[in-house]
Amino acid sequence: MDKFVLYKSALKGAVTVSGSKNAALPLLAATLLTDEECIIHHVPDLADIRTMLKIIEVLGKEVKFEDGTVTIKAGKKQGYVAPYRLVRTMRASFCCLGPLLAKKKKAKVSLPGGCIIGVRPVDLHIKGLEELGAKIAIEKGYCIGDGKNLKGKHIYLGGAFGSSVLATANVMMAATLAEGETTIEYAACEPEIESLAVFLKRMGADIAGEGTPMLRVRGVKKLGGCSFENIADRIEAGTYIACALATNSTLQINGANPYHLTSVLETAKKMGAQINIIGADSMLIEPKSVLKPVNIVTLPYPGFPTDLQAQFMVALCYARGISLITEKIYPDRFMHVAELNRMGAHIQRSGPYAIVEGGGALYGAEVMASDLRASAALVIAGLSAEEKTQVFRVYHIDRGYEKIEEKLRSLGAKIKREKQ
Protein backbone atom coordinates (compact mmCIF):
# COMPACT_ATOMS: atom_id res chain seq x y z
CA MET A 1 0.00 0.00 0.00
CA ASP A 2 1.36 3.42 -0.97
CA LYS A 3 1.25 6.89 0.55
CA PHE A 4 2.00 10.39 -0.75
CA VAL A 5 4.46 12.67 1.00
CA LEU A 6 3.87 16.34 0.16
CA TYR A 7 5.24 19.78 0.98
CA LYS A 8 3.94 23.27 0.27
CA SER A 9 4.57 24.04 -3.40
CA ALA A 10 4.35 26.94 -5.79
CA LEU A 11 2.96 25.53 -9.02
CA LYS A 12 3.35 26.89 -12.51
CA GLY A 13 2.98 25.66 -16.06
CA ALA A 14 0.59 23.59 -18.14
CA VAL A 15 -1.05 20.24 -17.49
CA THR A 16 -2.92 18.03 -19.95
CA VAL A 17 -6.09 16.31 -18.83
CA SER A 18 -6.53 12.59 -19.47
CA GLY A 19 -9.55 10.85 -20.94
CA SER A 20 -12.64 10.70 -18.77
CA LYS A 21 -12.91 7.69 -16.46
CA ASN A 22 -16.62 8.30 -15.86
CA ALA A 23 -17.29 8.41 -19.61
CA ALA A 24 -15.05 5.47 -20.52
CA LEU A 25 -16.60 2.97 -18.11
CA PRO A 26 -20.12 3.05 -19.65
CA LEU A 27 -18.53 3.01 -23.13
CA LEU A 28 -16.75 -0.22 -22.25
CA ALA A 29 -19.98 -1.70 -20.90
CA ALA A 30 -21.76 -0.72 -24.14
CA THR A 31 -19.44 -2.96 -26.18
CA LEU A 32 -21.38 -5.89 -24.68
CA LEU A 33 -24.27 -4.89 -26.99
CA THR A 34 -22.46 -6.08 -30.14
CA ASP A 35 -20.40 -8.99 -31.45
CA GLU A 36 -18.42 -6.69 -33.72
CA GLU A 37 -15.13 -4.97 -32.93
CA CYS A 38 -15.14 -1.68 -31.03
CA ILE A 39 -12.13 0.62 -30.69
CA ILE A 40 -12.12 3.36 -28.05
CA HIS A 41 -9.32 5.94 -27.96
CA HIS A 42 -8.19 8.33 -25.19
CA VAL A 43 -8.91 5.84 -22.40
CA PRO A 44 -7.03 6.57 -19.13
CA ASP A 45 -4.92 3.81 -17.60
CA LEU A 46 -6.56 3.58 -14.19
CA ALA A 47 -7.40 0.87 -11.68
CA ASP A 48 -11.15 1.23 -12.39
CA ILE A 49 -10.59 0.91 -16.14
CA ARG A 50 -8.51 -2.23 -15.65
CA THR A 51 -11.23 -3.68 -13.44
CA MET A 52 -13.93 -3.00 -16.04
CA LEU A 53 -11.79 -4.62 -18.72
CA LYS A 54 -11.48 -7.73 -16.55
CA ILE A 55 -15.27 -7.80 -16.19
CA ILE A 56 -15.66 -7.45 -19.97
CA GLU A 57 -13.27 -10.39 -20.44
CA VAL A 58 -15.17 -12.53 -17.91
CA LEU A 59 -18.33 -11.76 -19.90
CA GLY A 60 -16.81 -13.21 -23.08
CA LYS A 61 -14.84 -10.47 -24.83
CA GLU A 62 -11.26 -10.34 -26.07
CA VAL A 63 -9.61 -7.14 -24.87
CA LYS A 64 -6.46 -5.28 -25.86
CA PHE A 65 -5.41 -2.10 -24.04
CA GLU A 66 -2.38 -0.28 -25.37
CA ASP A 67 -1.26 3.38 -25.38
CA GLY A 68 -4.67 4.69 -24.37
CA THR A 69 -6.61 2.66 -26.95
CA VAL A 70 -8.92 -0.22 -26.08
CA THR A 71 -9.86 -2.76 -28.72
CA ILE A 72 -12.72 -5.12 -27.83
CA LYS A 73 -14.07 -7.98 -29.91
CA ALA A 74 -16.07 -11.15 -29.36
CA GLY A 75 -14.24 -14.02 -27.70
CA LYS A 76 -14.72 -17.74 -27.93
CA LYS A 77 -16.50 -18.11 -24.60
CA GLN A 78 -19.70 -16.38 -23.57
CA GLY A 79 -20.64 -15.25 -20.11
CA TYR A 80 -23.39 -13.36 -18.33
CA VAL A 81 -22.14 -13.32 -14.72
CA ALA A 82 -20.30 -10.25 -13.39
CA PRO A 83 -18.78 -11.59 -10.15
CA TYR A 84 -18.60 -9.90 -6.76
CA ARG A 85 -14.78 -10.06 -6.63
CA LEU A 86 -14.68 -7.53 -9.50
CA VAL A 87 -17.90 -5.55 -9.19
CA ARG A 88 -17.34 -4.88 -5.47
CA THR A 89 -14.50 -2.44 -6.20
CA MET A 90 -16.49 0.13 -8.19
CA ARG A 91 -20.07 1.17 -8.72
CA ALA A 92 -19.86 1.84 -12.47
CA SER A 93 -19.45 -1.89 -13.17
CA PHE A 94 -23.21 -2.21 -12.55
CA CYS A 95 -23.59 -0.66 -16.03
CA CYS A 96 -23.10 -4.17 -17.40
CA LEU A 97 -26.62 -5.11 -16.33
CA GLY A 98 -28.54 -3.25 -19.08
CA PRO A 99 -26.35 -4.42 -22.00
CA LEU A 100 -26.42 -8.04 -20.78
CA LEU A 101 -30.21 -8.06 -20.49
CA ALA A 102 -30.56 -6.55 -23.97
CA LYS A 103 -27.98 -8.66 -25.82
CA LYS A 104 -27.78 -11.96 -23.93
CA LYS A 105 -31.32 -11.78 -22.50
CA LYS A 106 -30.04 -12.75 -19.07
CA ALA A 107 -27.68 -11.34 -16.47
CA LYS A 108 -26.27 -12.05 -13.05
CA VAL A 109 -24.47 -8.96 -11.76
CA SER A 110 -23.20 -8.47 -8.23
CA LEU A 111 -24.56 -5.48 -6.37
CA PRO A 112 -21.84 -2.82 -6.62
CA GLY A 113 -19.25 -1.38 -4.27
CA GLY A 114 -16.92 1.61 -4.71
CA CYS A 115 -16.11 4.63 -2.58
CA ILE A 116 -17.77 5.13 0.81
CA ILE A 117 -19.53 8.43 0.17
CA GLY A 118 -22.98 7.60 1.50
CA VAL A 119 -25.95 5.52 0.42
CA ARG A 120 -26.10 5.00 -3.34
CA PRO A 121 -28.92 2.55 -4.06
CA VAL A 122 -29.54 0.90 -7.43
CA ASP A 123 -33.31 1.23 -7.21
CA LEU A 124 -33.55 3.55 -10.23
CA HIS A 125 -31.57 1.09 -12.36
CA ILE A 126 -33.91 -1.74 -11.44
CA LYS A 127 -37.04 0.41 -11.75
CA GLY A 128 -36.12 1.53 -15.27
CA LEU A 129 -35.13 -1.93 -16.49
CA GLU A 130 -38.26 -3.52 -15.01
CA GLU A 131 -40.42 -0.95 -16.76
CA LEU A 132 -38.76 -2.07 -20.01
CA GLY A 133 -40.04 -5.55 -19.21
CA ALA A 134 -37.04 -7.15 -17.50
CA LYS A 135 -37.71 -9.55 -14.65
CA ILE A 136 -35.22 -8.86 -11.86
CA ALA A 137 -34.64 -10.50 -8.49
CA ILE A 138 -32.04 -9.85 -5.80
CA GLU A 139 -30.55 -13.08 -4.49
CA LYS A 140 -27.50 -13.49 -2.24
CA GLY A 141 -26.01 -10.14 -3.18
CA TYR A 142 -26.59 -10.55 -6.91
CA CYS A 143 -29.03 -8.88 -9.28
CA ILE A 144 -30.42 -11.67 -11.45
CA GLY A 145 -32.32 -10.58 -14.55
CA ASP A 146 -34.33 -11.98 -17.45
CA GLY A 147 -34.46 -9.71 -20.50
CA LYS A 148 -36.37 -11.88 -23.01
CA ASN A 149 -39.28 -9.44 -23.33
CA LEU A 150 -37.83 -5.95 -23.40
CA LYS A 151 -40.31 -3.44 -24.84
CA GLY A 152 -40.13 0.32 -25.15
CA LYS A 153 -42.01 2.46 -22.66
CA HIS A 154 -42.24 5.98 -21.26
CA ILE A 155 -40.08 5.89 -18.12
CA TYR A 156 -39.71 8.54 -15.43
CA LEU A 157 -36.21 8.14 -14.01
CA GLY A 158 -36.04 10.88 -11.38
CA GLY A 159 -34.99 10.01 -7.85
CA ALA A 160 -34.82 11.62 -4.42
CA PHE A 161 -31.63 13.46 -5.36
CA GLY A 162 -32.42 14.18 -9.00
CA SER A 163 -31.34 12.26 -12.07
CA SER A 164 -28.99 9.28 -11.98
CA VAL A 165 -26.11 9.10 -14.45
CA LEU A 166 -25.53 5.35 -14.24
CA ALA A 167 -29.24 4.48 -14.18
CA THR A 168 -29.74 6.60 -17.31
CA ALA A 169 -26.82 4.78 -18.95
CA ASN A 170 -28.15 1.35 -18.01
CA VAL A 171 -31.71 2.00 -19.22
CA MET A 172 -30.60 3.76 -22.42
CA MET A 173 -28.29 0.88 -23.34
CA ALA A 174 -30.97 -1.72 -22.69
CA ALA A 175 -33.50 0.29 -24.72
CA THR A 176 -31.31 0.27 -27.85
CA LEU A 177 -32.22 -3.38 -28.50
CA ALA A 178 -35.72 -3.34 -26.98
CA GLU A 179 -38.80 -3.61 -29.16
CA GLY A 180 -40.46 -0.26 -29.92
CA GLU A 181 -39.75 3.24 -28.61
CA THR A 182 -38.54 4.21 -25.14
CA THR A 183 -38.75 7.69 -23.67
CA ILE A 184 -36.62 8.41 -20.62
CA GLU A 185 -37.92 11.42 -18.73
CA TYR A 186 -35.63 13.10 -16.19
CA ALA A 187 -32.61 11.56 -17.88
CA ALA A 188 -29.16 12.65 -16.75
CA CYS A 189 -27.70 15.44 -18.92
CA GLU A 190 -24.03 14.93 -18.04
CA PRO A 191 -21.45 15.04 -20.87
CA GLU A 192 -20.63 11.41 -20.06
CA ILE A 193 -24.21 10.39 -20.93
CA GLU A 194 -24.16 12.51 -24.08
CA SER A 195 -20.89 10.83 -25.08
CA LEU A 196 -22.40 7.37 -24.47
CA ALA A 197 -25.40 8.26 -26.65
CA VAL A 198 -23.12 9.39 -29.49
CA PHE A 199 -21.13 6.14 -29.17
CA LEU A 200 -24.32 4.05 -29.31
CA LYS A 201 -25.48 5.98 -32.39
CA ARG A 202 -22.16 5.20 -34.07
CA MET A 203 -22.94 1.55 -33.34
CA GLY A 204 -26.30 1.94 -35.12
CA ALA A 205 -28.64 2.89 -32.27
CA ASP A 206 -31.55 5.28 -32.88
CA ILE A 207 -31.31 7.90 -30.11
CA ALA A 208 -32.44 11.51 -29.88
CA GLY A 209 -32.33 14.12 -27.13
CA GLU A 210 -28.87 13.39 -25.73
CA GLY A 211 -27.72 16.19 -23.46
CA THR A 212 -31.33 16.96 -22.44
CA PRO A 213 -33.57 15.52 -19.67
CA MET A 214 -35.77 13.78 -22.27
CA LEU A 215 -34.17 10.89 -24.19
CA ARG A 216 -35.91 9.01 -26.99
CA VAL A 217 -34.62 5.58 -28.00
CA ARG A 218 -36.09 3.50 -30.81
CA GLY A 219 -35.01 -0.11 -30.57
CA VAL A 220 -33.09 -1.71 -33.42
CA LYS A 221 -32.47 -5.35 -34.24
CA LYS A 222 -28.68 -5.25 -34.05
CA LEU A 223 -25.77 -3.00 -33.16
CA GLY A 224 -22.39 -3.02 -34.89
CA GLY A 225 -18.84 -2.00 -34.04
CA CYS A 226 -17.23 1.42 -34.37
CA SER A 227 -14.22 3.55 -33.53
CA PHE A 228 -14.69 6.34 -30.99
CA GLU A 229 -12.75 9.09 -29.19
CA ASN A 230 -13.43 9.34 -25.45
CA ILE A 231 -14.04 12.82 -24.02
CA ALA A 232 -11.66 14.55 -21.59
CA ASP A 233 -12.07 14.19 -17.85
CA ARG A 234 -13.87 17.32 -16.63
CA ILE A 235 -13.45 16.24 -12.99
CA GLU A 236 -9.69 15.97 -13.37
CA ALA A 237 -9.69 19.41 -14.99
CA GLY A 238 -11.79 20.80 -12.13
CA THR A 239 -9.38 19.26 -9.61
CA TYR A 240 -6.49 21.20 -11.15
CA ILE A 241 -8.61 24.37 -11.04
CA ALA A 242 -9.15 23.83 -7.30
CA CYS A 243 -5.43 23.14 -6.91
CA ALA A 244 -4.58 26.42 -8.65
CA LEU A 245 -6.90 28.29 -6.27
CA ALA A 246 -5.66 26.62 -3.09
CA THR A 247 -1.95 27.03 -3.93
CA ASN A 248 -2.37 30.51 -5.47
CA SER A 249 -0.81 29.23 -8.70
CA THR A 250 -1.28 30.21 -12.34
CA LEU A 251 -1.99 27.05 -14.31
CA GLN A 252 -2.90 26.31 -17.90
CA ILE A 253 -5.18 23.30 -18.24
CA ASN A 254 -5.13 21.68 -21.67
CA GLY A 255 -7.30 19.05 -23.29
CA ALA A 256 -10.56 19.78 -21.44
CA ASN A 257 -13.77 21.25 -22.82
CA PRO A 258 -14.50 24.53 -20.94
CA TYR A 259 -18.21 24.17 -21.75
CA HIS A 260 -18.29 21.02 -19.61
CA LEU A 261 -17.06 23.13 -16.67
CA THR A 262 -19.31 26.19 -16.79
CA SER A 263 -20.51 26.00 -13.18
CA VAL A 264 -17.00 25.24 -11.93
CA LEU A 265 -15.43 28.14 -13.81
CA GLU A 266 -18.19 30.45 -12.60
CA THR A 267 -17.45 29.43 -9.00
CA ALA A 268 -13.72 30.03 -9.51
CA LYS A 269 -14.49 33.49 -10.90
CA LYS A 270 -16.65 34.32 -7.86
CA MET A 271 -13.72 33.31 -5.67
CA GLY A 272 -11.60 35.88 -7.47
CA ALA A 273 -9.84 33.91 -10.20
CA GLN A 274 -9.34 35.23 -13.69
CA ILE A 275 -10.24 32.65 -16.33
CA ASN A 276 -8.98 32.92 -19.90
CA ILE A 277 -10.43 30.42 -22.37
CA ILE A 278 -7.84 29.49 -25.00
CA GLY A 279 -9.39 27.83 -28.03
CA ALA A 280 -11.78 24.89 -27.74
CA ASP A 281 -9.96 22.84 -25.13
CA SER A 282 -7.67 24.97 -23.01
CA MET A 283 -7.98 27.47 -20.18
CA LEU A 284 -5.68 29.61 -18.07
CA ILE A 285 -6.45 29.93 -14.34
CA GLU A 286 -5.00 32.97 -12.55
CA PRO A 287 -6.10 33.22 -8.90
CA LYS A 288 -5.88 36.38 -6.83
CA SER A 289 -3.74 36.35 -3.71
CA VAL A 290 -6.85 36.77 -1.56
CA LEU A 291 -9.75 34.42 -2.32
CA LYS A 292 -13.38 35.35 -1.69
CA PRO A 293 -15.84 33.07 0.14
CA VAL A 294 -18.70 31.57 -1.89
CA ASN A 295 -21.68 29.31 -1.38
CA ILE A 296 -21.63 26.04 -3.33
CA VAL A 297 -24.58 23.73 -3.95
CA THR A 298 -23.87 20.40 -5.64
CA LEU A 299 -26.46 19.52 -8.26
CA PRO A 300 -26.83 17.28 -11.30
CA TYR A 301 -25.21 18.66 -14.47
CA PRO A 302 -25.02 21.48 -15.43
CA GLY A 303 -24.87 22.31 -11.72
CA PHE A 304 -21.74 22.16 -9.59
CA PRO A 305 -20.42 18.54 -9.57
CA THR A 306 -20.49 16.57 -6.35
CA ASP A 307 -17.19 15.05 -7.51
CA LEU A 308 -15.50 18.46 -7.03
CA GLN A 309 -17.03 19.37 -3.68
CA ALA A 310 -14.09 18.11 -1.58
CA GLN A 311 -11.42 19.75 -3.74
CA PHE A 312 -13.11 23.17 -3.68
CA MET A 313 -13.62 22.85 0.07
CA VAL A 314 -9.83 22.94 0.42
CA ALA A 315 -9.63 26.13 -1.66
CA LEU A 316 -12.37 27.71 0.48
CA CYS A 317 -10.23 27.14 3.57
CA TYR A 318 -8.09 29.98 2.21
CA ALA A 319 -10.97 32.32 1.35
CA ARG A 320 -11.34 35.22 3.81
CA GLY A 321 -14.78 34.71 5.24
CA ILE A 322 -17.43 32.04 5.69
CA SER A 323 -18.53 29.74 2.88
CA LEU A 324 -21.43 27.30 2.87
CA ILE A 325 -21.35 24.02 0.94
CA THR A 326 -24.64 22.19 0.45
CA GLU A 327 -24.36 18.59 -0.75
CA LYS A 328 -27.58 17.67 -2.57
CA ILE A 329 -26.34 14.56 -4.39
CA TYR A 330 -24.72 12.52 -1.60
CA PRO A 331 -25.58 14.23 1.72
CA ASP A 332 -23.07 12.08 3.63
CA ARG A 333 -20.14 12.90 1.35
CA PHE A 334 -18.11 14.72 3.98
CA MET A 335 -15.59 12.13 5.15
CA HIS A 336 -12.78 14.55 4.26
CA VAL A 337 -13.98 17.22 6.74
CA ALA A 338 -12.42 15.53 9.76
CA GLU A 339 -9.09 15.11 7.97
CA LEU A 340 -9.00 18.74 6.84
CA ASN A 341 -9.79 19.88 10.38
CA ARG A 342 -6.81 17.84 11.56
CA MET A 343 -4.73 20.02 9.24
CA GLY A 344 -6.02 23.20 10.88
CA ALA A 345 -9.16 23.88 8.84
CA HIS A 346 -12.26 25.28 10.56
CA ILE A 347 -15.16 23.34 9.06
CA GLN A 348 -18.44 22.48 10.77
CA ARG A 349 -20.70 19.76 9.42
CA SER A 350 -24.46 19.74 9.91
CA GLY A 351 -26.39 17.20 7.86
CA PRO A 352 -25.92 17.99 4.16
CA TYR A 353 -24.21 21.30 4.99
CA ALA A 354 -20.57 22.19 5.64
CA ILE A 355 -19.69 25.63 6.96
CA VAL A 356 -16.13 26.61 6.06
CA GLU A 357 -14.53 29.42 8.05
CA GLY A 358 -11.62 30.37 5.83
CA GLY A 359 -8.71 32.74 5.93
CA GLY A 360 -6.33 30.74 8.12
CA ALA A 361 -3.46 28.44 7.25
CA LEU A 362 -3.37 24.67 6.90
CA TYR A 363 -0.57 22.66 8.46
CA GLY A 364 0.83 19.31 7.42
CA ALA A 365 -0.39 16.18 9.15
CA GLU A 366 -0.86 12.47 8.63
CA VAL A 367 -4.26 12.07 6.97
CA MET A 368 -6.29 9.18 5.60
CA ALA A 369 -8.01 9.16 2.21
CA SER A 370 -11.55 7.78 2.48
CA ASP A 371 -12.55 7.88 -1.19
CA LEU A 372 -11.40 8.93 -4.64
CA ARG A 373 -12.26 12.64 -4.58
CA ALA A 374 -11.41 13.07 -0.89
CA SER A 375 -7.93 11.77 -1.66
CA ALA A 376 -7.52 14.42 -4.36
CA ALA A 377 -8.63 17.06 -1.86
CA LEU A 378 -6.04 15.91 0.67
CA VAL A 379 -3.31 16.07 -1.98
CA ILE A 380 -4.33 19.67 -2.74
CA ALA A 381 -4.32 20.41 0.99
CA GLY A 382 -0.83 18.94 1.32
CA LEU A 383 0.50 21.09 -1.51
CA SER A 384 -0.92 24.23 0.10
CA ALA A 385 -0.13 23.47 3.76
CA GLU A 386 2.85 24.45 5.85
CA GLU A 387 5.29 21.65 6.69
CA LYS A 388 5.04 17.95 5.75
CA THR A 389 1.82 16.13 4.87
CA GLN A 390 1.41 12.38 4.46
CA VAL A 391 -1.69 11.03 2.70
CA PHE A 392 -2.37 7.36 3.32
CA ARG A 393 -4.49 4.92 1.24
CA VAL A 394 -3.69 6.60 -2.07
CA TYR A 395 -4.97 3.53 -3.91
CA HIS A 396 -8.22 5.51 -3.96
CA ILE A 397 -6.64 8.24 -6.11
CA ASP A 398 -5.20 5.63 -8.48
CA ARG A 399 -8.78 4.71 -9.36
CA GLY A 400 -9.47 8.08 -10.97
CA TYR A 401 -6.36 10.18 -11.66
CA GLU A 402 -3.89 9.01 -14.27
CA LYS A 403 -0.24 9.65 -13.27
CA ILE A 404 -1.26 12.41 -10.87
CA GLU A 405 2.07 12.67 -9.07
CA GLU A 406 3.95 12.88 -12.39
CA LYS A 407 1.64 15.63 -13.65
CA LEU A 408 1.92 17.57 -10.40
CA ARG A 409 5.71 17.24 -10.32
CA SER A 410 5.85 18.67 -13.85
CA LEU A 411 4.15 21.76 -12.40
CA GLY A 412 6.70 22.05 -9.59
CA ALA A 413 4.89 20.10 -6.88
CA LYS A 414 6.88 18.56 -4.06
CA ILE A 415 5.20 15.16 -4.02
CA LYS A 416 6.54 11.65 -3.90
CA ARG A 417 5.04 8.20 -3.56
CA GLU A 418 6.35 5.91 -0.88
CA LYS A 419 5.45 2.53 0.56
CA GLN A 420 3.14 2.89 3.53
Output phi, psi for 373, to 5 deg: -75, -30
Distances (CA, A) of 13 to 100, 258, 281, 410, 413: 45, 18, 16, 8, 11
Give yes or no for a contact between 289 and 248, defined as CB atoms under 8 angstroms apart: yes
Whole-angstrom distance, CA of residue 143 vs CA of residue 239: 34
State the sign of the Cα–Cα–Cα–Cα dihedral 56, 57, 62, 66: positive
**Residue of 115, 189, 226, 317 marked active site:** 115
115 is catalytic: yes
Contact indicator for 177, 204 with CB cutoff of 8 Å: no
- Amino acid identity of residue 181, one-letter, is E
Instruction: Please state, in angstroms and rounded to a whole number, the distance separating the CA atoms of residues 105 and 78.
Output: 13
In 137-280, alpha helices (H): 165-175, 191-202, 234-246, 262-270
Report the distance separating Cα 5 and Cα 383, nearest Å: 10
* Residues identified as active-site: 115
